[in-house]
């Protein structure tokens, strides 16, 4: 793929008219007051984010921020809908909240279950989705000494969180979303895997926290121990139970391959659970010296510590394809990198102007200043460059774009550190050592970080970006995904209840028709999600992931007639390729639909796209 700094293009055709669903979603979810178009929202958002600048510079930054929005920077949905309004809402899309093993008491810094429930309800009331690791909760049948009784296990408590999310959702127009994680060695892991067998936990996405030790046991066909800190109670006592030298109680053993088969068969039938590769996530973490990551936000693109937040935004890659569909098609790397720099500043400003549902969330965010800048429209951009998503040339192009994103974002954060100071926990030796993501940066960037620090502990994340791509980018392909289809029916949930169906066209198809004519034959680059192998989906994430410091939201869509034999190795393949996580979706009659022919897991706040982890 040619990369260029050339910003001169042939005269552009007239702008594509808005699709009805794009205009309706824009007005329902993002427009406020007397706003009627995208530019009205741009003016409000730009002015709001400029309030973090020095008073004498605010007008100039308002103008620059507005231009950045017009050039293709798409802040996440909470920013678009609430920045500059009087809404008592957060500008942060999603959080991770800790849950301890007690009813209301503190568990080594983790709040009790019902305290965590109240914190989650307040977070969702303010517009944020929430992810949790429920692994600290003692297993079903474990002994509760204080009440001389047996524990119910994490899954029944998850149902309480599920009902709370449903109740909070009914009080507002935006849908709440939750991610529930359980470690692969928790004694209740089988209950967790089967939690959606009978349509339960409808307000949750589920992912298993997988360790390298467990996955190696699968490869080696060994058994694994199911363990917990809590002592087994008399109702489940067996002679095989014992306490290990590390203090954990062994509740039982399972053949690793049998447990793995349960995970994969559930994913095949129900699109749940997803996979989170915990050791890979933590080894890559720039802050692994001071935090352990055990859960993600509901879409999986942000592994976060307790009270961590996703401050997200995406850049529409289709805006940077010059001469689309022509033999001379090329990607404007220089223009893209300039926009990345401004977008980093805008997201850093969000942290200072947003309302925080909880004080602990504010403290966590301002101590580390995590942001998650990514891109959307990759699939369409590759089509416009005449490159197939499922071919090596397409993956090479995506990798170069991701590398440009990384380099420009880290350079911009270094410049912000010179101006505003590094994040308060910054330590150059720890940040750049120990095999972290930052340790693999180019030497010139590492030299800048050592000299000046860096403003943000993490900078990069590829979110689904479903609704913002629909409303602000003419239904460009979402996030890292290929286009699902070129023309399809899509369902939109109405604020007053019920569903409305729209016929929707992909942006790349609309642009092709405008430039080439209604009857021009589509080229070989027009390949959709279900027209490529599942392995091709994984390989695209593997190409991009080395340049993304947080994670990538990715769903592998497979056709309904995909056999289990062809499906069962997807998560293992993802682990071997060094991914941080993955989810899958195979259409079946038991699942509802947002798109006519497919649906995925529950939708994140502001998203109507498959939830995933990558």
Which of 401, 508, 412, 441 lies closest to 4, judged by CA? 401
Residue 55: its pLDDT value, please? Answer: 98
Cβ atoms of 302 and 296 within 8 Å: the answer is: yes
Residue 598: its pLDDT value, please? Answer: 37
Other Cβ atoms less than 10 A from the Cβ of 89: the count is 20
Tokens of 484: 């699902």
Percent of the chain with pLDDT over 90: 86
Q: Residue range 53-77: average pLDDT?
A: 98
How many CA atoms does the CB half-sphere of 396 hold within 13 Å?
8
Q: Phi/psi class of residue 474: alpha, beta or left (left: φ > 0; alpha: ψ in -120 to 50)?
A: left
Cβ atoms of 508 and 383 within 8 Å: the answer is: yes
Cα radius of gyration (the chain): 23
Residue 329: its pLDDT value, please? Answer: 98
Q: Is 596 exposed, middle or buried (0-12, 13-18, 19+ CB in 10 A)?
A: middle
Residues noted as catalytic? 297, 299, 301
Q: Residue range 471-497: average pLDDT?
A: 91
Residue 116: its pLDDT value, please? Answer: 98
Residue 3: its pLDDT value, please? Answer: 58
Round the average pLDDT of the chain to a whole number and report it: 92
- Kindly report which listed range (13-27, 235-249, 421-435) carries the lowest average pLDDT score: 13-27
Cβ atoms of 464 and 607 within 8 Å: the answer is: yes
Read off the pLDDT of residues 309-329 as tens digits, 9 standing for 90 and up.
Answer: 999 999 999 999 999 999 999
Q: 239 Cβ partners below 8 Å, 6+ apart?
A: none
Domain ranges for the chain, please list them: 97-277
pLDDT confidence bin for 170, thresholds 50/70/90? very low
pLDDT confidence bin for 15, thresholds 50/70/90? confident
Q: Residue range 121-134: average pLDDT?
A: 95
**φ, ψ at 530 (rounded to 5°):** -90, 0
Which of 325, 293, 317, 316 lies closest to 306, judged by CA? 293
Could you please report the per-residue DSSP string of 7-21?
---PPPPPPPPPPHH
Residue 591: its pLDDT value, please? Answer: 61
Residue 416: its pLDDT value, please? Answer: 98
- 30 secondary structure, DSSP code: I
Read off the pLDDT of residues 431-469 as tens digits, 9 standing for 90 and up.
Answer: 998 899 999 999 999 999 999 999 999 999 999 999 999
Strand, helix or coil for residue 264: helix
pTM of the shown model: 0.94
Residue 174: its pLDDT value, please? Answer: 61
Which of 76, 103, 297 lies closest to 204, judged by CA? 297
Residue 9: its pLDDT value, please? Answer: 46
Q: Is 568 exposed, middle or buried (0-12, 13-18, 19+ CB in 10 A)?
A: middle
- Kindly report which listed range (157-166, 240-249, 541-550, 581-590) carries the lowest average pLDDT score: 581-590
Residue 609: its pLDDT value, please? Answer: 37
Pairing assessment for the beta strands 499-505 and 204-210 based on DSSP bridges: unpaired
pLDDT exceeds 90 at position 2: no
Q: Residue range 254-261: average pLDDT?
A: 98
pLDDT exceeds 80 at position 590: no
pLDDT confidence bin for 535, thresholds 50/70/90? very high
Q: 170 Cβ partners below 8 Å, 6+ apart?
A: none
Evaluated on CA atoms 343, 344, 350, 353, the torsion sign reads negative
Q: First CA to last CA across the chain, in angstroms?
A: 24
Residue 495: its pLDDT value, please? Answer: 75
Taking the mean position of all CA atoms in its chain, how far away is CA 359?
23
pLDDT confidence bin for 605, thresholds 50/70/90? very low
Q: Residue range 595-614: average pLDDT?
A: 41
For residues 286 and 251, what is the distance between their CA atoms, to the nearest angstrom? 35
Cβ atoms of 232 and 249 within 8 Å: the answer is: yes
Percent of the chain with pLDDT over 70: 92
pLDDT confidence bin for 491, thresholds 50/70/90? confident
Residue 434: its pLDDT value, please? Answer: 82
Q: Residue range 299-305: average pLDDT?
A: 97
Q: Residue range 207-235: average pLDDT?
A: 97
For residues 229 and 246, what is the distance between their CA atoms, to the nearest angstrom? 9
């Amino acid at each position: 793929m040619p990369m260029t700094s050339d910003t001169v293009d042939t005269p552009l055709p007239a702008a594509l008219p808005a699709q009805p669903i794009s205009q309706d979603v824009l007005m329902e979810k993002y427009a406020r007051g007397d706003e009627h178009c995208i530019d009205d929202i741009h003016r409000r958002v730009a002015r709001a984010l400029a309030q973090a600048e020095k008073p004498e510079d605010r007008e100039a930054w308002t103008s620059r921020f507005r231009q950045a929005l017009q050039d293709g920077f798409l802040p996440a949905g909470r920013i678009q809908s609430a920045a500059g309004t009087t809404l008592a809402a957060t500008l942060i899309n999603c959080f991770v909240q800790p849950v301890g093993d007690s009813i209301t008491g503190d568990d080594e810094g983790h709040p009790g279950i019902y305290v965590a429930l109240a914190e989650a309800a307040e977070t969702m009331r303010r517009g944020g989705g929430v992810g949790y690791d429920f692994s600290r909760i003692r297993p079903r049948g474990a002994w509760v000494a204080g009440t001389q009784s047996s524990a119910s296990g994490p899954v029944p408590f998850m149902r309480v969180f599920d009902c709370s999310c449903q109740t909070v959702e009914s009080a507002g127009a935006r849908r709440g979303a939750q991610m529930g994680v359980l470690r692969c060695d928790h004694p209740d892991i089988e209950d967790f895997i089967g939690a959606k067998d009978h349509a339960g936990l409808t307000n949750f996405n589920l992912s298993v926290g997988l360790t390298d030790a467990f996955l190696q046991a699968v490869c080696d066909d060994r058994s694994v121990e199911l363990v917990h800190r809590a002592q087994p109670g008399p109702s489940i006592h067996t002679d095989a139970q014992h306490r290990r030298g590390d203090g954990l109680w062994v509740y039982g053993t399972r053949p690793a391959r049998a447990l793995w088969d349960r995970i994969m068969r559930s994913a095949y039938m129900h699109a749940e659970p997803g996979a989170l590769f915990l050791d890979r996530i933590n080894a890559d973490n720039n802050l692994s010296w001071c935090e352990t990551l055990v859960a993600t936000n509901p879409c999986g693109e942000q592994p976060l510590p307790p009270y961590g937040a996703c401050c997200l935004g995406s850049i529409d890659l289709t805006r940077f394809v010059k001469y689309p569909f022509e033999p001379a098609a090329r990607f404007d790397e220089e223009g893209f990198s300039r926009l990345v720099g401004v977008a980093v500043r805008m997201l850093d400003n969000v942290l200072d102007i947003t309302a925080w549902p909880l004080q602990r969330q504010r403290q966590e965010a301002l101590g580390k200043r995590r942001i998650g800048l990514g891109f959307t429209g990759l699939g369409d951009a590759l089509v416009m460059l005449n490159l197939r998503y499922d071919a090596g040339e397409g993956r090479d192009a995506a990798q170069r774009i991701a590398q440009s994103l990384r380099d420009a974002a880290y350079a911009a954060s270094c410049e912000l550190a010179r101006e505003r100071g590094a994040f308060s926990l910054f330590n150059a030796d720890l940040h750049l050592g120990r095999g972290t993501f930052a340790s693999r940066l180019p030497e010139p960037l590492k030299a800048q970080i050592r000299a000046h620090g860096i403003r943000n502990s993490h900078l990069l994340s590829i979110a689904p970006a479903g609704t913002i791509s629909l409303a602000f980018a003419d239904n460009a392909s979402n996030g890292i995904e290929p286009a699902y289809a070129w023309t399809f029916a899509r369902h939109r949930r109405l604020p007053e209840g019920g569903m409305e169906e729209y016929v929707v066209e992909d942006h790349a198809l609309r642009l092709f028709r405008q430039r080439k004519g209604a009857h021009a034959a589509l080229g070989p680059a027009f390949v959709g999600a279900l027209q490529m192998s599942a392995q091709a989906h994984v390989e695209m994430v593997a190409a991009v992931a080395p340049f993304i410091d947080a994670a990538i939201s990715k769903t592998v869509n497979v056709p309904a007639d995909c056999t289990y034999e062809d499906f069962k190795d997807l998560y293992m393949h993802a682990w071997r390729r060094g991914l941080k996580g993955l989810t899958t979706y195979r259409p079946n009659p038991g699942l509802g639909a947002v798109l006519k022919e497919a649906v995925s897991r529950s939708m994140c706040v502001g998203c109507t796209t498959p939830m995933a982890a990558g």
